[in-house]
Structure 1
Amino acid sequence: MVGTRLEHVRANVADLKAAVEWYTTVLGFEVEAYWPPDVPNYAHFKAQGGATFAVMEADGRGGRFNFTADDPDALWEQVREAAVVVEPLFDTPYGTRKFTIADPDGNELGFVRNG
């Protein structure tokens, strides 16, 4: 896709605490942040460059791949009728504009413009 860059990869997990324990003790990853702050179901790890890797406690398995998009509105118009919509285009409370679709195998593909 023109104007997109892979920025974030997320694996869905059954148990956040167990997953974080495994990634930190087995692979030596360091947690950078948890979200949401009050009852976290998501953690992302420090990155040395490239895409951010995260885990999220969620029903179902599969992955989530987040891309930055130069023009998420135009891309949304292009794909919304041809894909399974997970989250329609919206403005987030943390200042981004995004939408999420699913591929035929249920992997989530998020497209976001920061700022």
Structure 2
Amino acid sequence: MAGTKLEHVRANVTDLNAAVDWYTTILDFEVEAYWPPDAPNYAHFVTQSGATFAVMEAEGRGGRFNFTVDDPDTLWNKVKDQVVIVEPLFDTPYGTRKFTIADPDGNELGFVRNG
């Protein structure tokens, strides 16, 4: 798709603390943030590339990949009746507009317009 670029890659892990320890100790990654604040099951790391790499405590082997798009509404209307919907199109409290679908293997693909 024209105007689409990879923005976010997430690896599912069985133990968030062990994963963060491994990435920070072995690869010298630095945690930028945890989510949600009250009971984190997600951490993303500082990167130089502009893309986000994250780990999330989750069952299953699928990952999550977010793509930035200029017009999520048009893409949503094109695909919504043909896909498994993880999150319908919505506006986030931090100024983005997005939706998330699943591919046939359960990987989650998010399409985001940043605020």
Q: How would you bin the TM-score normalised by the shorter chain?
A: over 0.9
Alignment correspondent of 1:110: 110
Alignment correspondent of 1:64: 64
Alignment correspondent of 1:92: 92
Matched residues in 2 for 1:2 and 1:41: separation?
A: 33
1:20 aligns with 2:20: yes
Runs of 4+ in 1 over 2 A off after TM superposition: none
Matched residues in 2 for 1:69 and 1:58: separation?
A: 26
- 2:56 aligned counterpart, secondary structure: strand
- What is the RMSD of the two structures over their aligned residues, measured on CA atoms? 1.0
Matching of residues 12-51 of structure 1 within 5 Å: 12-51=12-51
Deviation at 1:51, TM superposition (A): 1.6
Matched residues in 1 for 2:35 and 2:72: separation?
A: 24
Matched residues in 1 for 2:108 and 2:100: separation?
A: 7
- 1:105 aligned counterpart, secondary structure: coil
Deviations 1:14-34 (A, max 9, x none): 111111011111111111111
Structure 2 length as normaliser, TM-score?
0.94
Q: Which structure has the highest strand share of the two?
A: 1
Count residues with an aligned counterpart. 115
Matched residues in 1 for 2:14 and 2:91: separation?
A: 28
Matched residues in 2 for 1:41 and 1:95: separation?
A: 22
Matched residues in 2 for 1:13 and 1:95: separation?
A: 28
- Give unpaired runs (5+ residues) of structure 1: none
